[in-house]
Chain A
């Protein structure tokens, strides 16, 4: 008998609702969920290959402890009980010897258990709760908060007349959103797409601004110049609610379209057309993207320039603009509600003070390797990690080596990854098919993700692991406190739902999902009722938070544009090409899916995508094995021609063990505000492999 079970895919981020087909306890197929309002029925390549994910030969089946040297990757099976004792003994010993801050609590993929892990970190007394957001998304949120003081406001897609998509190839990033995008087109919404490549998403747009990677700031400032010059801006809104407009107005004069054309590669007339369409074709929404803009060394400032366009044109918090709350919402517990213990200096606090001033309730661990190796700013001795993957960092081998120097390191993972080789202990996590979860969807809707199959091996739900570890440590140290972590997983799910007015039982009885009972109605123009949560109480075109660090850190209050190509440290004759890494591919997700042959076999990996003109210039051709060298390192890859990108720019997807593009990015090549690496704007050269052997 085949059963269809309503559950979720969490292979990447968005947690699409799926129908899992289960026969004799085995997952035999996965399809996009039917009969739910949020899913069109389709799915992406990653999700539909679920069987190779769930039953992958790399799955960790049992708790295992290290038997070889650190980094060797030799382990033997132990019981959960022994594993918990090891964790409690070691973490508490290290806390006694070096203090709570010497332990880092880290959340990589998946992300769903973060609030529980933050609770554990707080109870332990460590300020160092860190996540993969040290190189993803958080810098975008930071850029937004510097301007508007709140969480990123998404475009009100239902009501937009113009949509400005800034660096998101959504057909490939989030394939199930394709129908939404096509729906906009059918409704006659004008789409402006900003992307260095002529992607399928750009191809379907009305206006495509094909800029050189990393020049987003110059392009946005130039659009602002046009909008102000032609008096297309919202004077009333700006007069009343914007701080620093006069200085901003003066600054954008440096970016008249003819000058911006030289910087960005986008024709002046196209910049004007886009500016007029966005400012004049309102209401207009701006679709945000997590990382492409902030994976540049001027990323936060570039994104501030982009985000400022919303307020400039009066599209902030109006119907069809970027809204604080475009639909109904239902209150919930946990995500975004747990404050990080900040009684001690956290990792990254001195280098990246703005990250902490506008707290996102996590530390910035981009320099984790230095903290371990050089004990900066103080010794880091223990790492309690879930889904830690060194390939997230630039020059990942450096961190992989550093992990061996830890006194105690435990990684909870779905797969035996290279990042776990240095661990003293590895714990088996579950996929979303093997556990239950309460999901908070958009519009005040909730749905329950059922457990479709028994855990593979002795795998456990991450939150249950966190709760078990907490309880085991509490046996030895009665000062640890957290009621929620003591209550068990069922109670935890009830706790998430509690403010919504729903019970877990009610939610489970609605397989298609259901609305919270306590609903907050959609809002517009919230700024009329309360000031912006910025130091000035206004939208800050000139940031007073950044100004605090003008002398100490060299930050500018205005969204200034600094061109990465002017970096005097790089000899451009030696490295003439721009290197852009990690642009989304529909079949891959960072490093984790290379182990799924159906997806990996789609194309050669790593693929070095270049324009045929560059191939001719550098004497290589399609299918050649080449060496790609940057000031930071070198890798080998296979050449593929791709005219979606422009000559002079090389595109490589990251995270492959046979050649990781992240090795090419210098570990000190960071945005000084966020600490994010310049993954999408560095330099390289290509040559036929073996040339100098």
Chain B
């Protein structure tokens, strides 16, 4: 099961972007940020914002020189071990969707595939909230 993102379908409603914050943070964390990223795509006489997210492709894992990124076995999610992260930024450079952030301690942060929800038998928050199937499970 993989999380998919269809940028053609996405209408930039920010629901997944916000659901991600709500899932991972308490309401008091005012500056909490989403593990998804807003990007503007432009065509002739048209532009829209889309909210890209991690599709757990594993490119960051392959590139990480510190082996701080690994594939979790049950769901196949690509997760980060912040203890091992040196903050070198290579993962951010290779990420095709530009959805890797670094926190204030310089440690990488990425989508955890809502692993807690998965263990409860629920789909990730971004998948659940999307009204048009732009974020989906495959």
Task: Name A residues whose Cβ lies closer than 8 Å to a Cβ of B.
Answer: 29-32, 40-45, 48-52, 54-56, 171-172, 175-179, 182, 198, 200-201, 203, 586-587, 597-599, 601-602, 642-644
Contacts and interface: CB of A to CB of B under 8 A. Distances in A.
Interface string B42-67: 10011110000000000000000000
Interface stretch (B18-26, B82-90, B100-108): B18-26
Given A42-B131, A179-B132, A643-B47, A602 B42 contact: no
Contact of A48 (B19, B26, B30, B132): B19
Interface of B: 11-15, 17-19, 21-23, 26-28, 30-33, 38, 42, 45-48, 125, 128-133
Contacts of A602: 14, 17, 38
B23 A29 contact: yes
A587 B18 contact: yes
Contacts of B48: 200, 203, 644
A586 B31 contact: no
**In the complex, which of the residues B15, B22, B32 has the most CB atoms of chain A within 10 Å of its own CB atom?**
B15
B46 A175 contact: no
Contacts of A601: 31, 33
Given A43-B15, A586-B13, A644-B47, A31 B128 contact: yes
Contacts of B28: 55
Contacts of B42: 643
Given A51-B27, A587-B18, A176 B45 contact: no
B15 A44 contact: yes
A43 B31 contact: no
Q: Which 9 A-B pairs have the closest CB atoms?
A: A42-B131, A51-B27, A597-B30, A45-B14, A45-B18, A171-B11, A200-B11, A586-B13, A178-B131
Nearest to B9: A182
A599 B18 contact: yes
B11 A178 contact: yes
A598 B32 contact: yes
Nearest to A44: B15
A597 B22 CA distance: 11
Nearest to A181: B132
Contacts of B129: 31-32, 42-43, 48
Contacts of B15: 42-45, 48, 175, 586
A92 to B, nearest CB: 41
B46 A198 contact: yes
Contacts of B18: 45, 48-49, 587, 598-599
Contact of A203 (B22, B26, B46, B131): B46
A12 B70 CA distance: 42
B59 to A, nearest CB: 27
Counting chain A CB atoms within 10 Å of each CB, the highest count among B31, B32, B128 belongs to B128
Nearest to A49: B18
B22 A644 contact: no
A41 B17 contact: no
Contacts of A172: 11-13
Nearest to B34: A598
A55 B129 CA distance: 21
B131 to A, nearest CB: 3
Given A45-B17, A48-B18, A55 B128 contact: no
A130 to B, nearest CB: 33
Contacts, number: 101
Contacts of B125: 48
Contacts of B12: 172, 200, 586
A177 B48 CA distance: 19
Contacts of A176: 131
A43 B18 CA distance: 11
Contacts of B26: 51
A41 B48 CA distance: 24
A99 B14 CA distance: 50
A200 B49 CA distance: 9
A638 B48 CA distance: 19
Count chain B CB atoms within 10 A of each CB in A29, A45, A644 and give the residue with the most.
A45
B11 A48 contact: no
B22 A171 contact: no
Contacts of A178: 11, 13, 131-132
Contacts of B38: 602
B131 A40 contact: yes
Contact of B45 (A31, A51, A198, A597): A198
Contacts of B133: 179
B22 A48 contact: yes
Contacts of A32: 128-129, 131
B11 A644 contact: no
A179 B131 contact: yes
Contacts of A177: 131
B101 to A, nearest CB: 14
A586 B22 CA distance: 16
A252 B86 CA distance: 72
A178 B129 CA distance: 12
Nearest to A42: B131
A82 B94 CA distance: 64
A457 to B, nearest CB: 16
Given A48-B19, A171-B13, 8 more contacts: A32-B128, A43-B131, A54-B27, A171-B11, A176-B131, A597-B30, A598-B22, A601-B31
Nearest to A598: B21
Nearest to B117: A29
Contacts of A586: 12-15
A465 B26 CA distance: 31
12 contacts: A42-B131, A45-B17, A49-B21, A49-B22, A171-B11, A175-B13, A175-B15, A200-B48, A598-B18, A601-B31, A602-B14, A643-B46
Contacts of B46: 198, 203, 643-644
Nearest to B19: A48
B7 to A, nearest CB: 12
A42 B128 CA distance: 6
Contacts of A200: 11-12, 48
Nearest to B18: A45
A88 B68 CA distance: 67
B22 A51 contact: yes
Contacts of B47: 642-644
A154 to B, nearest CB: 20
A368 to B, nearest CB: 34
A597 B131 CA distance: 23
B44 to A, nearest CB: 9
A182 B23 CA distance: 27
A45 B27 CA distance: 14
B51 to A, nearest CB: 9
A643 B22 contact: no
A387 to B, nearest CB: 22
Nearest to B33: A601
Given A179-B131, A198-B46, A642-B47, A52 B17 contact: no
B30 A175 contact: no
Nearest to B23: A29
B113 to A, nearest CB: 17
Given A598-B32, A601-B31, A643 B45 contact: yes
- Looking at B18, B42, B125, the one whose CB has the most chain A CB atoms below 10 A away is B18
